[in-house]
Amino acid sequence: MSLYVVTGSGSGMGRASAEQLIAQGHEVLGIDLRDADIIADLSTAEGRAQAVATVLEKSAGRLDGAVLAAGVGPIPGREMLTASVNYLGVTELLLGLRPALAAAGNSKVVVYASNAATTTPGVPDALVSAFLDNNLEAIPELIAPFGEYASALVYGASKLALSRWLRRTAVTPEWAGSGIRLNAIAPGAILTPLLQSQLDGPNGDAVRSFPIPIGSFGSAEQIAAWTTFMLSPAADFMAGAIVFVDGGTDALIRANDWPVAAALPSA
């Protein structure tokens, strides 16, 4: 039996992942605002520190893996909530939990990115840099000119920056060299309570028109199945990977953008 921590375990994809891990005989420490083993607000520095401290205490300093599923969608007027949960709620938790993950010797981490990282048009480089520089205080000024589109840009930028942080971090001696396999899933339109609220909202028609080549939404259980696979020994040779599970949307929009050949080194 292995011990995993799962953020966002109270609903949606996080809950489905926690349930599948428990069904496989593993122990799970769930983190969420409610209906979880550890109640913590990942939008605040105090909540993130509390979550880390409680996990370290309950795990006795050893974790076999982690699933960072907690996230907030593009909510107009709540851009800073989206920014802090989606980025700091992952990076700060993982940095705090790294010693416990390293103690296991062969641990796996699955971060929930999003295909919004590659399909949201017009995300400013300066906005992504604000995340990567941990300068979230700059975000309100950066998004001020974009009006109603600001919330979508913050969401896309948070997931794009998170994906870049993950790829940079995963291959370092502190992570890959310490036996921690750090990878991500990039879901597309998954029928969760979050997506349902968007479908029922004023922009529901726009959400429905988003292109999904296979023609239907995904399910939380499908993402959970990928999550448990990426926590298994099958993922021993994965590090820094981002797996798109989005019905083909990323491939449709970026068919010729990725993969790309590496540039020749400068003389």
Q: How far apart are CA 171 and CA 246, in angstroms?
A: 25
CA–CA distance, 84 with 139 (Å, rounded to integer)? 11
User: HSE on the CB side for 90, CA within 13 Å?
Assistant: 29
Hunting for tokens 């988003």 — which residue is that? 210
| Cα-trace Rg, the chain | 18
- Please answer whether residues 112 and 184 qualify as being in contact, where contact means their C-beta atoms are separated by less than 8 angstroms: yes
The one catalytic residue in 4, 87, 112, 155 is: 155
**Residue labelled with tokens 């080549």:** 213
Active site residue 155: yes
Task: Compute the distance between CA of residue 33 and CA of residue 31 in angstroms, rounded to an integer.
Answer: 7
Three-state SS at 68: strand
Q: What is the DSSP string of 170-197?
A: HTSTTTGGGTEEEEEEEE-SB-SHHHHH
Distances in Å between the Cα of 131 and the Cα atoms of 28, 31, 86, 163 are 29, 23, 10, 11
Distances 223 to 21, 93, 169, 255 between C-alpha atoms, Å: 13, 21, 23, 23
Identify whether the C-beta of residue 139 lies closer than 8 Å to the C-beta of residue 124: no
Alpha helices in 24-138 (DSSP H): 45-59, 79-83, 89-104, 116-119, 125-132
Catalytic residue annotation? 155
